[in-house]
């Protein structure tokens, strides 16, 4: 049997063994494939309250229904209500038809008849879409938004609000109406 033939046989055997070995590793590492968008967790009439290091309630995320799905790192809210406590005497709250709480548990996006109230003065903000940062107390939207404040209303396309500083920046096409002073 010629030397060349022996080399070929040896190579084939080595390749077979390597392939088999490679096949096993491949099988062992792959996590089982989860079906995406399958309902994983369902909460009915729930409210999640978080506390700060002093034991003070700092924010709460409530909803008639919350759904968490496999493979999707966020929860879908129905009839959502969010509230944030800034100080003992100052807080704000928001409600909407739908909402999404993101994986970081810091960002919440509200959609559909969004109403936000700042509970230490008579400010009320209404829009169709609003993104809330529960840590920085920043609200923002690019939708049409209306702010009612002290007998006046201001509307614009787009807004960014610092709810802690109670500062509202209207970004485009601003119109305001101030009620006349009492005679």
Partner 1 sequence: QSAQDPIRISADEATRSELEGITRYLGNVVLVQGTITITASSLEIDQANPEEIKIIATGSPATFVQPMVGAEPAIDAKAQTIRYEQVARKVILEQDARIQRGESIIRGPLIEYFIDEKRVQAGQDANQPKSRVEVVIPPSGSTP
Shortest Å, Cβ 60 to partner 1: 23
* Radius of gyration (C-alpha) of the chain in whole angstroms: 28
Scanning 31-39, 52-60, 81-89, 145-153 for contacts with partner 1 by CB under 8 A, the matching segment is 145-153
25 binds partner 1 (CB under 8 A): no
Contacts of 116 (CB under 8 A, 6+ apart): 92, 93, 94, 124, 125, 126, 130, 139
Please tell me what DSSP assigns to residue 55.
S
Residue 181 in contact with partner 1, rule: CB under 8 A: yes
183 lines the binding site for partner 1 (CB under 8 A): yes
Distance of CA 110 to CAs 127, 131, 147, Å? Answer: 10, 6, 17
| Residue 152 engages partner 1 in binding (rule: CB under 8 A) | yes
Nearer to partner 1, 61 or 145 (CB): 145
Task: Mark the segment that binds partner 1 (CB under 8 A) among 22-30, 83-91, 137-145, 148-156.
Answer: 148-156
Tell me whether residue 8 or residue 175 sits nearer to partner 1 (CB atom): 175
Helix (H, G, I), strand (E, B) or coil at 14: helix
| Using rule CB under 8 A, residue 177 touches partner 1 | yes
Question: Does 170 help bind partner 1 (rule: CB under 8 A)?
Answer: yes
- Hey, how many other C-beta atoms are within 10 angstroms of the C-beta on 179? 9
What does the alpha-carbon distance between residue 16 and residue 22 come to, in Å, rounded to a whole number? 10
- Binding of partner 1 by 173 (CB under 8 A): yes
Q: Does 166 bind partner 1 (CB under 8 A)?
A: yes
Separation between Cα atoms, residue 111 and residue 101, nearest integer Å: 12
Report the interface residues with partner 1, using CB under 8 A.
118, 121, 123, 147, 149-150, 152, 154, 156, 165-181, 183
């Amino acid at each position: 049997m010629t030397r060349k033939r022996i080399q070929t046989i040896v190579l084939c055997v080595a390749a077979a063994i390597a392939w088999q070995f490679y096949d096993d590793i491949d099988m062992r590492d792959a996590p089982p494939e989860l079906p995406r968008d399958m309902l994983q967790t369902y909460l009915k009439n729930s409210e999640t309250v978080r506390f700060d290091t002093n034991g003070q309630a700092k924010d709460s995320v409530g909803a008639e229904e919350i759904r968490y799905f496999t493979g999707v790192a966020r929860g879908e809210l129905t009839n959502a209500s969010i509230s944030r406590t800034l100080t003992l005497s100052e807080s704000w709250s928001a409600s909407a038809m739908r909402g999404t709480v993101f994986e970081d548990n810091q960002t919440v996006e509200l959609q559909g008849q969004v109403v936000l109230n700042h509970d230490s003065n008579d400010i009320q903000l209404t829009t169709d879409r609003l993104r809330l940062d529960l840590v920085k107390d920043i609200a923002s939207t690019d939708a049409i938004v209306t702010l009612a404040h002290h007998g006046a209303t201001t509307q614009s396309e787009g807004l960014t609000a610092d709810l802690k500083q109670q500062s509202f920046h209207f970004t485009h096409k601003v119109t305001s109406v101030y009620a006349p002073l009492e005679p």
